[in-house]
Structure 1
Amino acid sequence: MTKRIMAICDEDAAFGERFAEFVNEKERSLLFMVSFTSVQELIDYSFGHDIELVLISCGISDGEIEQIRAEKVILLAQERLISPNDRYPCVYKYQAADRLLQEVMEVYGLAFEDQGYTVLSEKSRVIGVYSPINRCLKTSFSLTMAQVLSRDLKVLYLNLEDCSGLAELTGEEYERGLSDLFYYYRQSTFSSARLGAAVCTWGDLDYIPPVQYPEDLAFASSQEISGLIRQIAKESTYGTIILDLGQMGKRAADILEICDCIYMPVKEDCVSAAKVAEFETYLNASGHGTVTKRIQKIRLPYHCTFGRKDNYLDQLLWSELGDFTRQLLRKQP
């Protein structure tokens, strides 16, 4: 599959090279970024290559920009909330790479969504993590597995809980997230570019910030949730999608149907066993009996290395739970 070319031109060579490397590693929309410090070199390059998007310093004159053969130009602004040129959209240069890429992809998506561009890739493998039991380390396991797999694979983590606590754990304030993707899906305007604009990064792991309000998830039907996940799996470049499912009632069974494999944390007490048995009875009675064949029940270690929330995600990798997860994944085909 041919990658679309994005170019960045900035006099700060280290900035351009670092951002280009970040984009190329993520490959969120099958874009390949090349870096330039000379406008003339970029102009010459554009005559021999089809460039879809150029990021360029706001100090470059309109005359020079007009010589660049590119579908879309975005200016790198030196200050926030300042648009130095009404002809071109601007993004703020001095911010985290993932935030900068989010803004770029948002502009890119708005520019190209009406031109019929669609990124098609092999379907992602969807891993579901679900349990009818509460306080079973389900989310800690999901985050641990996502981080472990992302060391070698391109992984996207999706949390489908009313209140995930993820913003508190990461200390981030999210401008976009799963609520926006549900809106785009309902409006039939979802695209790989809009997905890329919502993706955040923690270490090697990409994730979509969870719903902004519980109502955003409560009012989403199982068909909408499953449809959105299928579209992400079909059109994104992620090889693995991890779904961290909350207590979603009968919708959980519908969503588990699209999972290639399912991990179910369980506990040994009789009440927990009864809940699992009742859920399995429901799956069979509701026509979801085949889901049970893909469920792997796991008993997670209650690791004693719980730390402060500001570095909890990092500590997961080196806890008893991290060791358990690595051993579990080594046994999988």
Structure 2
Amino acid sequence: MMRVLAVYGIDSSYGERFADYVNQKEKIPFTAMAFSNLEKLLQYSEEHTVEILLVDEEAREQVRDVKAKQVMVLCQGELVEQKEELPSIYKYQSGDCVMREVMARYCSQPVEPGLALLGTRAVVMGIYSPVNRCFKSSLALTLSQQLARDESVLYMNLEEYSGFSRLVSSDYEMDLSDVLYLYKQGAYNWMRLKSMVYNWGNMDYIPPVRYAEDLSQVSPDEMAMLIDRISRESGYDKVVVDVGQMGRGALPVLSVCDVVYMPVREDMVSAAKLEEFDEYLEEADDGSVRDKIQRLKLPSPGRIGRREGYLEQLLFGEMGDYVRQLLKGRGPEH
């Protein structure tokens, strides 16, 4: 069933631009339609189901007779509480920000069980290493950016201290901590997740946890089930997971990956750690994880003098060249 998001207001050009933006975003589960004529909107709502109606604050009194499951007001200035208690969203911000707020308010209402963007299960690509300082996260970020140039990609970081928000210079209202809480409470679904997904370039991502201890909200097995569910329900082509230092708890997460890229180093300490990891796999793994692991000797990202633009420099530097060759020769297929 088509889910319609209608936009109505005095500024018809805004509605048309916003509807075009929504309809071009593959992972937004609505078809957007812009209306500047009230009679046409009324007629449409009589004959079709309007899931969400976004209306300019100047026109909010005009839409009382429009049949819509949920109405939200697009405000031009300071958000104020209204008597009708209609949710309000600041109009002049990015389309991503508007839709994140729309999804968050939409999901505050009861949501249909099992709601998902069904399709082919995403390929889950894990980035993991028992070795430290091996450019693991640089590989994960470069891989996600490169894949996102041609496919829909979701990046997840399971590290306790990822530094990701510093690299992209962003603050977040919601992050992986909130996703884990919803999942633990049995309130998770893809619609709720969409309100917590951000975008950088072509890459979608869930901001990492704000506090390291939040990762303990779920067990390694539950984390693995969550990642598997995201891969099945979200409609992405690829899900890239920077697994972080989970110790022996990494095994369940690695087991749901289709491929595991493992950066390694050749110094004595690193070699000893890899030997211990291999011994653990011999005892605990039935071979399913070992068969997925591709050990990689990564190039150094080189000297990057400024934090600003670091992710772009990864993509177009030596690490980016390495990743492109890796995907060209050994990338997993659906």
Offset of residue 14 of structure 1: 4.1
1:55-74 aligned within 5 A? 55-62=54-61, 64-74=62-72
Match of 1:268 in 2: 266
CA RMSD of aligned residues (A): 1.9
Match of 1:213 in 2: 211
1:23 aligns with 2:22: yes
* Identity among equivalent pairs (%): 41
Please say which of residues 219-228 and 21-30 is displaced more in the overlay. Answer: 21-30
Offset of residue 151 of structure 1: 1.4
Q: Distance in 1 between matches of 2:37 and 2:312?
A: 40
Offset of residue 316 of structure 1: 1.6
Paired amino acid for 2:251: A
Q: Do the aligned partners of residues 306 and 19 (structure 1) sit closer, same or farther apart at CA in structure 2, a change above 3 Å counting?
A: farther
1:51-200 aligned within 5 A? 51-62=50-61, 64-84=62-82, 86-113=84-111, 115-116=112-113, 118-122=115-119, 123-200=121-198
Match of 2:36 in 1: 37
Paired amino acid for 1:39: L
1:227 aligns with 2:228: no
Instruction: Describe the SS at the equivalent of 2:138.
Output: helix
Offset of residue 156 of structure 1: 0.5
Offset of residue 328 of structure 1: 1.1
Instruction: Describe the SS at the equivalent of 1:111.
Output: coil
Q: Distance in 2 between matches of 1:239 and 1:112?
A: 28
Offset of residue 205 of structure 1: 0.8
Offset of residue 117 of structure 1: 5.7
Contact 2:261–2:296 (CA<8 Å) still a contact in 1? yes
Match of 1:320 in 2: 318
Offset of residue 29 of structure 1: 4.3
Match of 1:330 in 2: 328
Paired amino acid for 1:47: E
Contact 2:127–2:262 (CA<8 Å) still a contact in 1? yes
Q: Distance in 1 between matches of 2:23 and 2:105?
A: 18
Q: Do the aligned partners of residues 151 and 39 (structure 1) sit closer, same or farther apart at CA in structure 2, a change above 3 Å counting?
A: farther
Q: Distance in 2 between matches of 1:80 and 1:206?
A: 29
Q: Distance in 1 between matches of 2:203 and 2:12?
A: 26
Please say which of residues 160-169 and 85-94 is displaced more in the overlay. Answer: 85-94
Q: Unaligned stretches of 5+ in structure 2? A: none
Offset of residue 213 of structure 1: 0.2
TM-score with structure 2 setting the length: 0.92
CA deviation digits over 1:41-84, x for unaligned, max 9? Answer: 3333333432211111111143x312322211111112233134
Paired amino acid for 2:321: D
Q: Do the aligned partners of residues 97 and 180 (structure 1) sit closer, same or farther apart at CA in structure 2, a change above 3 Å counting?
A: same
Q: How many residues align?
A: 330
Match of 1:9 in 2: 8
CA deviation digits over 1:121-175, x for unaligned, max 9? Answer: 1322111000111111111111111111111111100000001101111111110
Contact 1:7–1:34 (CA<8 Å) still a contact in 2? yes
Q: Distance in 2 between matches of 1:61 and 1:144?
A: 45
Instruction: Describe the SS at the equivalent of 1:99.
Output: helix
Contact 1:127–1:241 (CA<8 Å) still a contact in 2? yes
Offset of residue 219 of structure 1: 4.2
CA deviation digits over 1:186-225, x for unaligned, max 9? Answer: 1111111210110011011110011110000134311221
Contact 2:116–2:191 (CA<8 Å) still a contact in 1? no
Q: Distance in 2 between matches of 1:317 and 1:42?
A: 46
Offset of residue 87 of structure 1: 4.1
Q: Do the aligned partners of residues 238 and 314 (structure 1) sit closer, same or farther apart at CA in structure 2, a change above 3 Å counting?
A: same
Offset of residue 101 of structure 1: 1.2
Q: Distance in 2 between matches of 1:5 and 1:293?
A: 45
Instruction: Describe the SS at the equivalent of 1:82.
Output: coil
TM-score with structure 1 setting the length: 0.93
Contact 1:148–1:317 (CA<8 Å) still a contact in 2? yes
Q: Distance in 2 between matches of 1:18 and 1:308?
A: 36
Q: Unaligned stretches of 5+ in structure 1? A: none
Q: Distance in 2 between matches of 1:313 and 1:18?
A: 29
Q: Distance in 1 between matches of 2:227 and 2:116?
A: 15
Paired amino acid for 2:36: T
Contact 1:77–1:83 (CA<8 Å) still a contact in 2? no
Q: Do the aligned partners of residues 140 and 77 (structure 1) sit closer, same or farther apart at CA in structure 2, a change above 3 Å counting?
A: same
